[in-house]
Chains A and B, each alone.
Chain A
Amino acid sequence: MSRIHLFSGGLELANLVVSSGVLYHSWAAVRDLYSEINQNEQQSLSVRYKVSQQPNSTTIAFFTWPACSKDYIIQGGGGEDLVSSSTLKESFPLFEFLCTKTNPQFSINKAALELFASIRDSLPSLKSQIDSKPVIITGNSLGGSVASLFTLWLLEKINLSSTKTRPLCITFGSPLVGDDGLQEATSKYPTWNSCFLHVVSDQDPIPRVLISPHNPIDSIYKPFGTFLLHSELGCACFEDSQSILDLLTATYLEGPENQNPNQVLEFYEALVQHLNHKVICKDTTQLVKRNTKSFEAGIITQLEAIGLVRPQQQQRNNGIDNLITRTERQEKKLVILKRQVFDPSKKLNDIKINMAYLEWYKKHFKDKGIGYYDSYKNSGNLSDLNVVRYKKILTCYWEEMVDEAEKKPQKEGASFRTRWLFAGTNYRRMCEPLDIAEYYNKGLKDYINQGRPKHYKQLEQWLKEIEKPASNPSQLKKQNVASSLTEDSCFWAHVEEARISCELLSSRESSIGEKESSKHNLVEFENYVLSLMKNYAVSPEIFLPRSSFMLWWKEYEEIIRKGIMGAAYYSPLTDLMKSRSYQNYATGGLEIP
């Protein structure tokens, strides 16, 4: 295939945000709220909110005074300004769902969190005003942080499987909200990240407060979502979190020291108006070099729009060139990464082919009267060698799948799993017996507790979560039992344990304690097998003449004959085995009371 030319669409995305009117609309909601407050009350550090209904959307706006925000944000400082999710777990567990196995912890800015906590009691009523219409959540300064937290909280509450219900959170001049843990949590799930758009003016200090000015990339706080940066020349969107830190610092035009912090409200008013007019005007980029590659050209136009590269500059200086290279590298990396998302469906057909091979293997040894479990265990065959390969491919695939599903947040993970669980269960039932065979071949014991791979446990656990309680087996299930797989993929581990018990019982060297527990185990095993047969949950292949199960029965029969299990020992299973009525099992004709 020919090489793919990449493009950077940050300018186009920003242009869409403006020309669609979304930006104008959400700022108008903030402005509305602000003018209401302006007339009535003193400035104080509290968050105000307002819900407004439009014919096609619902808007929730949060407002705080920028002047009151700045110092409050960095209160404590030096790490004191962050609250960790483990602290929150007890007092305010609303964001617990963001934690995953691979990303167990994150921290949120204390000021933002306290403001959000102050409206905790209103959350249900706010949510109740969201109906089927799409919702825009917006806010300025710390109010924007509250909007972000509110949106995060909302993400767990709503069904995101349809894009129709996805909320859009637009903040104006908000400080960063959380650390790399929070960034990681949202970016792991691209749908979540797609709900956030942060608008930042080049004259607004507040969004930059939590970034260390000399080494922006190493800041504790990390941005998430998309950032729309603005200058008098235009605007552009950026998504890579490192680039954003870099560019937030580089674009800042410091105003006079003593200026009223509330003035930033006017900046945003002017910004929105300005962009609204500018959207049908041309950009003025003049690329210095010919033959610039498309991605670099895109980045240059973006940096120019946010005022970093000046078109009139004849000579670009080193600093700018470095910034272009750095931004290009970062944004490109993100684009490439996102294009290569794990897509299990692509491989699914290959996996089906491998399963087909295994199916054939199973059938082959059924015809030989031994069963694939025992054939694999004895491994005398060439085709067994091939099976090792198929099994390895399958195992790699499903380990990755399970891993991927675990990484996802609870709810999304669940829906991801249900789609693959059927195939996963099939795989487990087909392949795990082979793992068990390998395990006991090594002379090891107690597979279930000590040797079972994690992904089998998970696959079984997930099946249990969605399975309905078992009813009596239908006529159909009985008739088909010959072609179905044993439901409990650990069946053969139980058989192996039973054989070990038999050995202990017959051995002279075993202690009395060992013998007693072996007896107990064997009785339990009998009940286990009987209940499986009753439900037609075990494959009739276990009755093949050379199978381990039949070997066990021979050993056990001997033990019973010797009277070790007690004089005239009798049980439903032994009766079944002795009378050979298990032969009716394969055709569905065996009734067990």
Chain B
Amino acid sequence: MASLKVGENKEINTDLIQKACSLAVKAHSKSSQKSYILEKTGGSSYVIFSFPGYWSENDWYDGEPFGETKINLDLFPSLRSIGIDEHAKVNKAFQQRFVDKISRNQDFIKEVEKAKNERKQIVFTGHSTGGSIAILATIWFLEKYWRSDASATSPLCLTFGCPLTGNHIFSHALRREKWAPYFIHFVMRYDIVPRILLAPISSIKQEFQPILQFLNPKSSRASTNTPPEALNFYMNVMKNASSVASHAACKLMGNTNLLLETMANFTALSPYKPFGTFVFCTGNRKLVILSNPDAVLQLLFYSSQLDNEAECPDVAQRSLQQHFSYGNELKDCFTKLDADHAVLLESLEKLPLSADSTTTSSDITTINAALKDLGLSTRARLCLCAAGELEKRKIGNKNSIDLKKADTAMKYLQEYQLSCKHQGLGCYDAFKIHKSDKDFEANVNRLELAGIWDEIIEMLKNYDLPDAFEGEKEWIDLGTKYRHLVEPLDIANYYRHLKNNDTEGYTKKGRPKRYRFTQRWLEHAQRLPAGSCGESCFWADVEELRIKTSSKEGYAPFKDEVLQLEEQAMKWINDGVLDKDVLMENSTFMVWWKKQPDPLASCINDIEGFTITSA
């Protein structure tokens, strides 16, 4: 049984791919009533769901120039960046189609659950826009079942000539969740469909109708001749693809010419970005496989570039015809599948820039032949190199901050917390009074840590760290530890300098991003609602309530807030996420709390081991 190697440790059975491909095409031709077809072969270890495509203009572009919209976070809660909290974008029409036809389809859900319970691998597949539905179905499955059930079999998504579906956050989030490897996209070298959404509807409006007519397998085409609009369509899509690729390449290359920024006002660029593993079919029985999204974006443009202008009409025809040749091409490819015919492009930064094949290394020769089959020029090779270099740099950034993980400043602050407790005052209050040398040392350590964490946040904001970073357990735990230990000191510093008088309260205006981000990491990792891990802000809540209840109105108007704070404090202390030093006799909290009417009735008294010394 042959298999296709699509990654370091990942191989896919070629029979499965071929079966999925034929089912994906078959889904179109079934009666248009069916929103998916299911293939269960008795005894096999997998089931295949395949989805049909749709071919009206509104099935592609709904509203915006590029037809994109905000992702539905109820269905896809992970599709956002965590710290920055930017939501992914997705093609509106595809998402709508998925919501209407699939996610509410009880039959579909029942079949998925049945397959899952039978421990079968679920394969979602689709050709053309059907592929986009398969992608959304796969993510939906991952969110709904896979995440909560570690024993489930991992799903697989196979698409053939599928349009781009989501933007860079979409791609970033899937890589962070480590879901990207479940997606394998097959793209014929010249197939125009995966490139269409790189162009705004305005630039292809005239040609799009007849082209869709041609692409629709259900329509009764008069002949197999490509429509006359093919030429303009190809040129317009490619011109836009060229803009997107050049713009992205400038960024990959670390462009320093600010003209690029100025240009941004005059160019509307497509927001879509690839994700997952792409298998490019060169058209001569070779496959080129890569999964760096930046490199894939470049390849989408460069692989269907023209050798010369004369070639244009011919390529334009092929760009449509190849959309229908996946079945045959893959069959041909899989008859002879060896290292020369399926080339995995990794370590892109080391790609040969020169097509010179007088080298002795057979690896380089193979890669060179593959690049040549995709028609890649020096310029294209440079772009792929830059994509590899960027990825390498991100990893380098991570390595350099990993070195700062075992930080002595954290240790100092942990000891500080303990020694404060021994002296009968929590570190919040000790730091706020700021009387001894230790408080001062703690302040210096706090600032040193702030420097490290601010650097991390800055890198996250620029997407200068690997996509996986915000999902790494080690860093989430360290972030939480840091937040619990040091944020009280930041709050103390804030109220020590009475910064709340110039601005608003700490939580509203003063809270640094390094704490906001780390809190969101934890909430996301534990699937908790946003804002539920605010225990490190406890002291700020106390200070704000202290100010409120000391005003003329007194306690009464804030009674609910006080009660809520007490309940939260109890929960946090019992959960072990808030240090018990808040209950020390002279803490800001206790001094204030004892002054409130009837403290003995409060739930604080129920905290295990808590005894009030004197009211």
Is B239 a contact of A19 with CB atoms below 8 Å?
yes
Interface residues of A in 10-27 (CB under 8 A from B): 11-13, 15-17, 19-22, 25
Is B243 a contact of A20 with CB atoms below 8 Å?
yes
- B393 proximity list for chain A (CB < 8 A): 4
Is B444 a contact of A353 with CB atoms below 8 Å?
yes
Q: How far is the CB of B354 from chain A (nearest CB, A)?
A: 4
- B498 proximity list for chain A (CB < 8 A): 476, 480
Is B258 a contact of A134 with CB atoms below 8 Å?
no
Count CB-based A-B contacts (< 8 Å). 193
Partner of B447, one of A294, A297, A353: A353
Asked if B547 is an interface residue, CB under 8 A from chain A, the answer is no
Is A2 a contact of B246 with CB atoms below 8 Å?
no
Number of interface residues of B (CB under 8 A): 65
- B353 proximity list for chain A (CB < 8 A): 287, 292, 294, 297
Is B309 a contact of A349 with CB atoms below 8 Å?
no
Asked if A454 is an interface residue, CB under 8 A from chain B, the answer is no
Interface residues of A in 327-352 (CB under 8 A from B): 334-335, 338-339, 349-350, 352
Is B256 a contact of A338 with CB atoms below 8 Å?
yes
Q: How far is the CB of A134 from chain B (nearest CB, A)?
A: 4
Q: A163-B264, A237-B257 are in contact. Are A290 and B354 (CB under 8 A)?
A: yes
Is A286 a contact of B378 with CB atoms below 8 Å?
yes
A21–B268 Cα distance when bound, in Å, is 11
Give the one of B249, B450, B454, B498 with max A CB within 10 A. B249
Is B354 a contact of A292 with CB atoms below 8 Å?
yes
- B447 proximity list for chain A (CB < 8 A): 349, 352-353, 356
A263–B257 Cα distance when bound, in Å, is 32
- A287 proximity list for chain B (CB < 8 A): 353-356, 378
Interface residues of B in 470-493 (CB under 8 A from A): none
Asked if B254 is an interface residue, CB under 8 A from chain A, the answer is yes
Asked if A282 is an interface residue, CB under 8 A from chain B, the answer is yes
Q: How far is the CB of A560 from chain B (nearest CB, A)?
A: 39
Is B354 a contact of A350 with CB atoms below 8 Å?
no
Asked if B383 is an interface residue, CB under 8 A from chain A, the answer is yes
Asked if B375 is an interface residue, CB under 8 A from chain A, the answer is yes
Is A16 a contact of B377 with CB atoms below 8 Å?
no
- B349 proximity list for chain A (CB < 8 A): 5
Interface residues of A in 269-284 (CB under 8 A from B): 277-284
Is A339 a contact of B253 with CB atoms below 8 Å?
no
Q: How far is the CB of A196 from chain B (nearest CB, A)?
A: 8
- B260 proximity list for chain A (CB < 8 A): 13, 16, 194
Which residue of the partner chain B has the closest CB to A162? Answer: B265
Asked if B386 is an interface residue, CB under 8 A from chain A, the answer is yes
Asked if B261 is an interface residue, CB under 8 A from chain A, the answer is yes
Q: How far is the CB of A23 from chain B (nearest CB, A)?
A: 10
Asked if B389 is an interface residue, CB under 8 A from chain A, the answer is yes
Q: A2-B392, A136-B266 are in contact. Are A301 and B378 (CB under 8 A)?
A: yes
Q: A280-B305, A281-B308, A294-B382 are in contact. Are A22 and B258 (CB under 8 A)?
A: no
Q: A13-B255, A197-B259 are in contact. Are A280 and B238 (CB under 8 A)?
A: yes
Asked if A527 is an interface residue, CB under 8 A from chain B, the answer is no
- B424 proximity list for chain A (CB < 8 A): none
A297–B379 Cα distance when bound, in Å, is 9
Partner of A284, one of B239, B258, B377, B400: B377
Which residue of the partner chain A has the closest CB to B395? Answer: A2
Partner of B239, one of A225, A279, A289, A335: A279
Asked if A57 is an interface residue, CB under 8 A from chain B, the answer is yes
A20–B239 Cα distance when bound, in Å, is 8
Is B259 a contact of A22 with CB atoms below 8 Å?
no
Is A166 a contact of B261 with CB atoms below 8 Å?
yes
Is B262 a contact of A166 with CB atoms below 8 Å?
yes
Partner of A16, one of B247, B309, B396, B451: B247
- A512 proximity list for chain B (CB < 8 A): none
Asked if B12 is an interface residue, CB under 8 A from chain A, the answer is no
Asked if A1 is an interface residue, CB under 8 A from chain B, the answer is yes
Partner of B450, one of A25, A191, A297, A349: A349
- B111 proximity list for chain A (CB < 8 A): none
A546–B516 Cα distance when bound, in Å, is 46
Asked if B11 is an interface residue, CB under 8 A from chain A, the answer is no
Asked if A207 is an interface residue, CB under 8 A from chain B, the answer is no
A521–B353 Cα distance when bound, in Å, is 78
Number of interface residues of A (CB under 8 A): 73
- B325 proximity list for chain A (CB < 8 A): none
Is A191 a contact of B249 with CB atoms below 8 Å?
no
Which residue of the partner chain B has the closest CB to A192? Answer: B258
A360–B443 Cα distance when bound, in Å, is 10
- B264 proximity list for chain A (CB < 8 A): 163
A352–B354 Cα distance when bound, in Å, is 50
- A12 proximity list for chain B (CB < 8 A): 246-247, 249-250, 253, 255, 383
Which residue of the partner chain A has the closest CB to B497? Answer: A483
Q: A9-B249, A301-B378 are in contact. Are A476 and B501 (CB under 8 A)?
A: yes
Is B253 a contact of A7 with CB atoms below 8 Å?
yes
Asked if B263 is an interface residue, CB under 8 A from chain A, the answer is yes
Q: How far is the CB of A149 from chain B (nearest CB, A)?
A: 18
Asked if A168 is an interface residue, CB under 8 A from chain B, the answer is yes
A191–B240 Cα distance when bound, in Å, is 26
Is B262 a contact of A297 with CB atoms below 8 Å?
no
A279–B244 Cα distance when bound, in Å, is 12
A136–B238 Cα distance when bound, in Å, is 25
Interface residues of B in 345-388 (CB under 8 A from A): 349, 352-356, 358-359, 375, 377-380, 382-383, 385-386
Asked if A99 is an interface residue, CB under 8 A from chain B, the answer is no
Interface residues of A in 106-124 (CB under 8 A from B): none
Partner of B389, one of A5, A25, A237: A5
Q: A9-B249, A349-B447, A356-B443 are in contact. Are A289 and B261 (CB under 8 A)?
A: no
A21–B200 Cα distance when bound, in Å, is 13
Interface residues of B in 289-333 (CB under 8 A from A): 305-309
- A300 proximity list for chain B (CB < 8 A): 378
Asked if A385 is an interface residue, CB under 8 A from chain B, the answer is no
Asked if B565 is an interface residue, CB under 8 A from chain A, the answer is no
Residue-wise, chain A 292-312 has the 8 Å CB interface mask toward B (1 for contact) of: 101001101100000000000
Asked if A486 is an interface residue, CB under 8 A from chain B, the answer is no
- B385 proximity list for chain A (CB < 8 A): 5, 7, 294
Asked if A76 is an interface residue, CB under 8 A from chain B, the answer is no
Is B440 a contact of A19 with CB atoms below 8 Å?
no
Asked if B235 is an interface residue, CB under 8 A from chain A, the answer is yes
- B243 proximity list for chain A (CB < 8 A): 16, 19-20
Asked if B448 is an interface residue, CB under 8 A from chain A, the answer is yes
Asked if B414 is an interface residue, CB under 8 A from chain A, the answer is no
Partner of A277, one of B253, B254, B309: B309
- B354 proximity list for chain A (CB < 8 A): 286-287, 289-292
Is B250 a contact of A349 with CB atoms below 8 Å?
no
Partner of B444, one of A20, A294, A357: A357
Asked if A69 is an interface residue, CB under 8 A from chain B, the answer is no
Is A16 a contact of B306 with CB atoms below 8 Å?
no
Is B356 a contact of A290 with CB atoms below 8 Å?
yes
Give the one of A8, A13, A194 with max B CB within 10 A. A13
Which residue of the partner chain B has the closest CB to A11? Answer: B379
Additional A-B contacts beyond A2-B396, A167-B262, A196-B259 (7; CB < 8 A): A13-B246, A13-B255, A168-B265, A279-B242, A281-B307, A338-B256, A349-B451
* Residue ranges of B at the interface with A (Cβ–Cβ < 8 Å): 235, 238-240, 242-243, 246-247, 249-250, 252-267, 305-309, 349, 352-356, 358-359, 375, 377-380, 382-383, 385-386, 389, 392-393, 396, 400, 434, 440, 443-444, 447-448, 450-451, 454, 497-498, 501
* Residue ranges of A at the interface with B (Cβ–Cβ < 8 Å): 1-2, 4-9, 11-13, 15-17, 19-22, 25, 57, 134, 136, 163-164, 166-168, 190-191, 193-197, 225-226, 237, 239, 277-287, 289-292, 294, 297-298, 300-301, 334-335, 338-339, 349-350, 352-353, 356-357, 360, 363, 476, 480, 483
List of 10 A-B pairs having minimum Cβ-Cβ separation, nearest first: A194-B258, A7-B253, A349-B451, A20-B267, A134-B265, A338-B256, A285-B378, A16-B246, A19-B242, A15-B246
Q: List 5 A-B contacts (CB under 8 A).
A: A12-B247, A194-B261, A280-B306, A282-B307, A283-B379
